[in-house]
Structure 1
Amino acid sequence: MQTFHVNGYDMAYLEVGEGPPLVCVHGTLGDFRTWYSVLGPLSKSHRVISVSLRHFFPEHWDAIGDDYKMAQHVADVIAFIEQVRPAPVDLMGHSRGGHIAFRVAQARPDLLRKLVLAEPGGDLDASLSVPEGTPAHPPLAARTARSVEMIRAGDIEGALQHFYEGIEGDGSWRRVPAAAKQQLRDNAVTFLGQINEQRRPYTLADAQAIRTPTLLIGGGATTGSLSVMWRVLAEHIAGAKTAVIANAGHWMFEQAPLEYGEVVNRFLAE
């Protein structure tokens, strides 16, 4: 493990492989371990740099302070990338980390060569319409709020199950490997910050502002709003490419690491 000092914080990261830098940003409840399953496939042709955002493991946060904000995490990733050489870098984000990567590309396209968004999280504002006939999906924010209540009541296991199954479906929690479950437990307290992180919804203007060559990836088995978001964004990001990882859900890189690695490597090599 190494660190870069960014915005008054020592930001931890893992680095594997040689070649052009690929910076990887985890999502909710994740950390630099999120990408373990694809470190092998991706490091064959890249120097993979997997970061842990402010207040995530290896820090054991006490939920005190007001700097768990989306804008802070975006600023931290920008400051981190500014220290990576050679520039520009490829940037990949999953879920909430995909939202962060999107905002980095929006604010500092000069830092990036290519952008990979794996089912980026967030909400769409009224300027971005979903395809006609798309079923209405309850926002994940409601699941997060309920999980926060459970954590405050001391039911961490129940909170994680409630959140996870809201994405992957009923009964999915019991199928999660022990190591992956422990990673989520290690970051459970970050939920207490996320509830007030001030994340802005995506707008049409936001999507049209992305000029970095972009690949959006979805899991073929993903349901709910996360299965819709990336498709809508792809329609409005100029030249965006898309890929679906068959028979995989939201954590598609864990469930199908070889297929995921092939898709990403192919795009980055183009």
Structure 2
Amino acid sequence: MTRVRVNGVDLYYEERGNGVPILGIHGTPSSAVLWEDAAVELAKHGRCITYDRRGFHRSAPPVSFDRIDLLEHVDDAAALLASLHAGPAVVIGRSTGGEIALGFAHHFPDKVKALVLLEPALFTIDPDAAAWASELRRRVLMKSGADPSSAAETVVRDALGDETWESFPDELKAMFSGTSPAVLAEMRGHGLDLSEDPLDLGEDELAGIRRPTLIISAEDSPAACRLVNARLSGALPYTETVFVPGGHLINPAHPAVLAFIDRITARPSSWEQS
């Protein structure tokens, strides 16, 4: 297993291909395991770097974190790129990973070449989406009070549906369930989508993220995800939007993503100086 120590934690990561760096940030609960097939395709278009975020799966410490903050994930992403001498990168974030990608672009704009946001979990941008996330937080806390290992399953069932959860092989269900301590640590921390105080980027802060951005929505996702994307498409300066079939688990190597990366790679670097 390939690991790098950053900010006091050992992160598991995988690297494929050459060229423009492409950083993949997974959602909650999840792991880079779910990005393996996509990473193979992305590596045909650049230097693809995927990793398990702190606390998740192969980056989980022997003793679970009590809390995990958004800024820790942001700093980890920056340190990972720095340790690999990679950047600026096309940053692809799915769900909570998309929220982290936005936080990363806000705090480290010089490390971002472009953004691909696969239904980012910035629920605070829309009142109805924020209410949906607050209700999900309540259900997760209620169910995990009796069984802490159920936290991840509760989130997956809400985001992807009961049928999708039941369709997963036992080993994948076990992987998800094993991330429950990290899910709860994020909920106890600051700034994550199911934290008590999630990230709230205002109009000026979003307008300051001056990077070309591809925003993808799925037809069968929770309505809250589409509400977020509609708001973001009007708030971020340079956006393209795409609707794809299926649910919230959007393919990071969807043809629209690959075409976007190729266009970004071919463009002059004037975007990075804006």
TM-score by length of 1: 0.85
Q: Secondary structure at the match of 1:29?
A: coil
Distance in 2, matches of 1:179 and 1:197, equals 28
Question: Secondary structure in 1 aligned to 2:83?
Answer: coil
What is residue 173 of structure 1 aligned with on the other side? Answer: 165
- Whether the aligned pair in 1 keeps the contact of 2:25 and 2:92 (CA below 8 Å) is yes
Shift in Å at residue 74 of structure 1?
1.1
2:232 is aligned with what amino acid? L
Give yes or no for the alignment of 1:156 onto 2:153.
no
> 249, 258, 270: which is aligned to 1:251?
249
Matches within 5 A, 1:97-112: 97-112=97-112
1:113 aligns with 2:113: yes
Give the alignment partner of residue 143 of structure 1, picking from 111, 127, 136: 136
Separation in 2, partners of 1:204, 1:118: 20
Report the Cα offset of residue 80 of structure 1: 1.6
* 2:258 matched residue in structure 1: 265
Distance 2:177 2:130 in 1: 26
The verdict on how the C-alpha distance between 1:214 and 1:116 changes in structure 2, with shifts beyond 3 A counting, is same
How far residue 22 of structure 1 moved from its aligned partner, in angstroms, is: 0.7
SS of the residue 1:244 aligns to: strand
* Deviation (angstroms), 1:140: 2.1
Give TM-score scaled by structure 2 length: 0.83
Specify the alignment match of 1:226 in structure 2. Answer: 225
**CA deviation vs aligned residue, 1:37-74 (integer Å, no higher than 9, x gap):** 312321222221111111111125644444x1111111
Cα pair 2:116 2:213 within 8 Å, conserved: yes
RMSD over equivalenced CA pairs, Å: 2.3
Q: Which amino acid aligns with 2:174?
A: Q
Identity of aligned residues (%): 24
CA contact (8 A) 2:124 2:130 kept: no
Aligned to 2:91: 91
Report if aligned partners of 1:123, 1:202 keep a CA contact under 8 Å in 2. no
In 2 relative to 1, CA 107–137 (structure 1 residues): closer, same or farther, beyond 3 Å?
Answer: closer
Is the contact made by 1:94 and 1:117 (CA closer than 8 Å) also made in structure 2?
A: yes
Q: 2:82 matched to 1:82?
A: yes
How far 1:26 sits from its partner (Å)?
0.7
Work out whether residues 41 and 261 of structure 1, in 8 Å CA contact, stay in contact via their aligned partners in 2.
no
Name the count of aligned residue pairs. 255
Distance in 1 (alpha carbons) for counterparts of 2:24 and 2:225: 19
Match in the other structure for 1:189: 181
Unaligned runs of at least 5 residues, structure 2? 192-198, 264-274
Retained in 1: the 8 A contact 2:74–2:103? yes
Distance 1:4 1:160 in 2: 26
3-state SS in 2 of match to 1:225: helix
Cα gap change, 1:88 to 1:155, in 2 (>3 Å): closer
Between structures 1 and 2, the one with greater helix share: 2
Give the CA deviation at 1:23: 0.8
